[in-house]
Structure 1
Amino acid sequence: MLNFEYQNPTKVLFGKGQIAKISHEIPSDARILIIYGGGSIIANGTMDLAKRALAGRNVIEFGGIEPNPDYETLMQAVAVVKKEQITFLLAIGGGSVIDGTKFIAAAACWELGDPWEILHNKGKGIRNVIPFGCILTLPATGSEMNQHAVISRKNRQISLPSASGSQGNYGAMAMHSQIAKEKLSFSNDQVFPQFAVLDPMTTFSLPKLQIANGIVDAFCHVIEQYLTYPVNANLQDRFAESIMLTLLDDGIKSYQQPDDYDSRANLMWCATMALNGLIGSGVPQDWSSHAIGHELTALFGLAHAETLAIVLPGTMAVRKDEKKAKLLQYAKRVWGIQGKNEDLVIQQAIDKTIAFFESLGFATHLSAYNIKEEQIPDIAATLLKHGMTGIGEHGTVTLDICEEILRKAL
């Protein structure tokens, strides 16, 4: 097991009726900004429950945070924070709203120039933030209990290499300027939520597609921390496997029976545990599938889970030799597949993973979204732009390998 430090300061309030307790978690004299996405939290009563808990407090609202929260919208919220002298943020929504709130909390206190540098610096330089908590309404990203966020920016003028599809030529390429979308991540311990309310009842009105997104998202978060190479971190491996097995059981049940409280509760806790730092402590981590997936979202508008359902099987297939030991363990412990022919066992595990994603309604090939082979160099060019030239658990996933993964996913 690798050395590690682990601390998670987020207080979790789990279960029915816990929204009523937020008044005890927010200072009584706070000037509160409630941040949310569309109108679903109003329609399903979650906003009303939050306001009831904060009756008599100084509260204003900011809605309209998009899926893949956009920088321009978030900066509008930052302006409100400054104008209204907000001292506490309350995010009500899924991962996008919570990620956006993390950025707002940091950008409102940022004094080092353009707040977009928070993304380009991967969160370095954040010293102070507006304190915040959250009420989760969509189990998926785990943002409610971690220090990570992913932010998009539309119509940004950027310079890209004129991709040729051969990594050996990337360094010598002429650059060209174009309007493009960017999707970047940042991390900083300052943006852990102070508290997170996880009430499964808030998720009952979600469309099945969003539940499916959450299941795939959580499953892939676990895989990125698990499917690397063995370091004898036996407890973390078992934790990771238990989350995946629970997603295959209660996740599917929750997808099929949306009003089953127990399965929805287990799904919600799985999604949180998948990315709160616990299973990733003391183990190598990959995240190359996420890096490639972010570019697919930015360039083609695919949902996050859609990109992962495409890229992860390709990653497994292309990198099966370096991931062999853990792939065999994954096949045995998660899918119950064993045999003397190790290549066949690995392929069967990949096939089971694909079938799992497809059972939730996800396509697992780029062609389903009309993305063609000739567009793959453009994806590699954006990876290069964002410095993703040696990613993965060994730092050996080059642009050529990224292209190979994408071709495998065609």
Structure 2
Amino acid sequence: MATLDSCEVTEFGGIEVNPHYETVLKAAGLAREVASDIILAVGGGSVIDAAKFLGSAIAAENSDPWDEFAAGRYPEKIVPVGCVLTLPATGSESNAVSVISSVTRDLKIPFANEAARPVFAIMDPSTMASLDRRQLGNAVVDAFTHVVEQYLTLPGNTPVQYGYSEVLLRTLIEWGPKLLKENSPDARENVMWAANQALNGLIGMGVRQDWSTHMIGHAITALYGIDHARTLSLVMPSLLRFKIRSKQEMLARYARNVWNVQADDDRIAAEQGIAATEDFFRRMGLPVKSSDVAPTKISADDIVAHLERAGQVQLGEMADISAKEVREIMAAVT
């Protein structure tokens, strides 16, 4: 705070782990009262997501802009956002996306506004020293799934993006367990940078992207309050097995280039790659089956209802995951 002595600072705390729209609106009201000209987000993905949404909410003419923002209609000029990252995972410090939950609507959905991309991000790995094992494990798996959602789709002429994705995945596989075990400066540095690169837009350039695991995961978090990363570890292995036929070519490449699988047969290689992924999630301390989150009972019908309310009825890089497929994917999580 000493650095900000020459500035007039108004603090707003209490941002939820999955930031609530209603809380952000309270922050917007305060920011208008004091005529804030910049927002400084100090925290992890939830705080930064809230700040990015807040920048647009302050400038909005409508005091309840959820529907406008969900439709992609944002103010032309918003209050800029800077951030100090304390928990790496989401890459929110350098992307344009906010994931916001509305309590009154019982929804959790992503919002994308390029103007909200932070104008600066301070990333100091030493801030990770105070994080517990659950937070660290969540961070690694969250970043890992961000890469997978952009990489394990349809093959294309994007060798740079694929190669970069594979390096990021191998980095997280190598340094994630070390981070849990020793939380060393080297481990913090490599995980923080990999998490940033996983979702700053570079590896997704020119590739078909999936994000179905994330949409299903958002529904689970909204319904049951399970940590975001832990919903991803629950859903992703089952979803990859369900989609193994259409994703087989990239799954086989992933297995060989990331996990060093030696199988010549693509189907066998793909299956081994999925199994290795599931095992990695377990080693990072995250759930992969519904029994791992007991006594919480997850209902596929409730998930489908949430997705339908959110307008997310055709998921995946080929828009071929609908209600029926979601139910089948979730049935395999048990």
Q: Provide TM-score, normalisation by structure 2.
A: 0.96
What are structure 1's unaligned runs of at least 5 residues? 1-50, 157-180
- Pick the aligned partner of 2:198 from 274, 292, 300: 274
- Pick the aligned partner of 2:76 from 98, 108, 127: 127
- Pick the aligned partner of 1:238 from 159, 163, 188: 163
Higher strand share: 1
Tell me the residue number matched to 2:140: 215
Tell me the residue number matched to 2:88: 139
Q: Does 1:347 align with 2:308?
A: no
Tell me the residue number matched to 2:150: 225
Tell me the residue number matched to 1:72: 22
The answer to whether the Cα contact below 8 Å between 1:132 and 1:194 also exists between their aligned partners in 2 is: yes
What amino acid sits opposite 1:240 in the alignment? S
The answer to whether the Cα contact below 8 Å between 1:215 and 1:247 also exists between their aligned partners in 2 is: yes
- Pick the aligned partner of 1:151 from 93, 100, 104: 100
Runs of 4+ displaced beyond 3 Å: 370-373
Tell me the residue number matched to 2:9: 59
**Displacement of 1:292:** 0.5
Please report the RMSD computed on the Cα atoms of aligned residues, expressed in angstroms.
1.4
What are structure 2's unaligned runs of at least 5 residues? none
d(CA) in 2 for partners of 1:235, 1:113: 44
What amino acid sits opposite 1:202 in the alignment? T
Tell me the residue number matched to 1:95: 45
d(CA) in 2 for partners of 1:62, 1:112: 21
**Displacement of 1:119:** 4.5
Q: SS state of the match for residue 62, structure 1?
A: coil
d(CA) in 2 for partners of 1:118, 1:105: 15
**Displacement of 1:372:** 4.7
d(CA) in 1 for partners of 2:309, 2:98: 20
d(CA) in 1 for partners of 2:41, 2:63: 25
**Displacement of 1:86:** 0.9
What amino acid sits opposite 2:2 in the alignment? R
Q: SS state of the match for residue 290, structure 1?
A: helix
**Displacement of 1:97:** 0.2
- Pick the aligned partner of 1:193 from 102, 111, 118: 118
**Displacement of 1:341:** 3.7
Count of paired positions: 333
Deviation by residue 1:338-364 (Cα, 9 ceiling, x = unmatched): 223433322221111111001111110
- Pick the aligned partner of 1:336 from 250, 256, 260: 260
What amino acid sits opposite 1:197 in the alignment? I
Tell me the residue number matched to 1:104: 54
- Pick the aligned partner of 2:300 from 376, 395, 401: 376
Deviation by residue 1:193-232 (Cα, 9 ceiling, x = unmatched): 0000001111111111111111000000000000001102
Tell me the residue number matched to 2:327: 403
Q: Provide TM-score, normalisation by structure 1.
A: 0.79
Q: Does 1:295 align with 2:219?
A: yes
Higher helix share: 2
The answer to whether the Cα contact below 8 Å between 1:91 and 1:135 also exists between their aligned partners in 2 is: yes
Structure number with greater Rg is: 1
- Pick the aligned partner of 1:206 from 115, 131, 144: 131
Aligned ranges 1:75-86 → 2 under 5 Å: 75-86=25-36
Deviation by residue 1:278-332 (Cα, 9 ceiling, x = unmatched): 0000111000000100000011111100100011001110000000000000100
Deviation by residue 1:257-293 (Cα, 9 ceiling, x = unmatched): 11x1122111101011000000000111000000100
- Pick the aligned partner of 1:265 from 189, 192, 217: 189
Q: SS state of the match for residue 229, structure 1?
A: coil
What amino acid sits opposite 1:134 in the alignment? C
Instruction: State, as a whole percentage, how many aligned pairs show the same letter.
Output: 41
Q: Could you say if the C-alpha distance between residues 283 and 64 of structure 1 is closer, same or farther in structure 2, counting changes exceeding 3 Å?
A: same
